[in-house]
Amino acid sequence: MTDDGVATAEDARTGEDASDDDTTAGRTYGGLVTAFPYALRESDSRLFKLYATAAGLLAALLAFYFAAAVTVAVSNTLGAAGGTFTFVRSFYVFVAFGIVAPVVGPVLFVAREHRRGRGDARYDRRMAALGFVYMLALYVGAVISMPPEFTLDGETVTRPAPSGLLAPVVSVLYAMPPLSSVLPPAAVGVVMYVLDRRHKTAGATADA
């Protein structure tokens, strides 16, 4: 702008650039929570939109469950040694991160790829499909880890007997060692990581 108050072409360009920056900032995201609406808005895959909605609900439910579990664990270890509470809390945080991270992982991956201009519907669909498979793997892991008898509200409960069309599959899962319950979710998590790495490598090659 000149001394007499007349706007110049440079001022106009500066204003346009600022407007573009504000628009771009409104389209991006700044964390886990804002990544969900950003990914939903940017993706053209209906399957991914469905998964992002389900993943948000499941992640919130798991977060509430683990928070409640930590609260109960703290109340049960109040009279224990000083290091017991720290260990219990760290253990629950570790387990919660290991379970919840692959649930929200596909959403974060998709949001990141769209922000970097590498997003596409095919990648979104694959990530969503793996996300649903991971949810199924969590259920399979829960079945494997279920003991024959456990205590619930002070009463001894026996795990359900296999029945229906899936009875042979459930019987096999019951027979597996409890520690193997981590294998199905872990395997799906590894496949997610590999798919993301391949997509990033392909994008870097195309850019080059």
pLDDT one-digit tens code per residue, 145-179: 988 887 766 778 788 888 888 889 999 999 999 89
Instruction: Tell me what pLDDT residue 24 has.
Output: 44
Whole-number pLDDT of residue 115: 92
How are the residues of the chain apportioned to helix, strand and coil, as percentages rounded to the nearest 5? 75, 5, 20
Share of the chain above pLDDT 70, in %: 75
One-letter amino acid for residue 65 of the chain: Y
Q: How confident is the model at residue 35 (pLDDT cuts 50, 70, 90)?
A: very high
- Whole-model pTM over 0.75: yes
**Amino acid 54: pLDDT:** 96
pLDDT at 118: 87
Return the bridge partners of 116, or none: none
User: What distance in Å separates the CA atoms of residue 126 and residue 109, rounded to the nearest whole number?
Assistant: 11
Strand partners, 152: 155
3-class SS of residue 31: coil
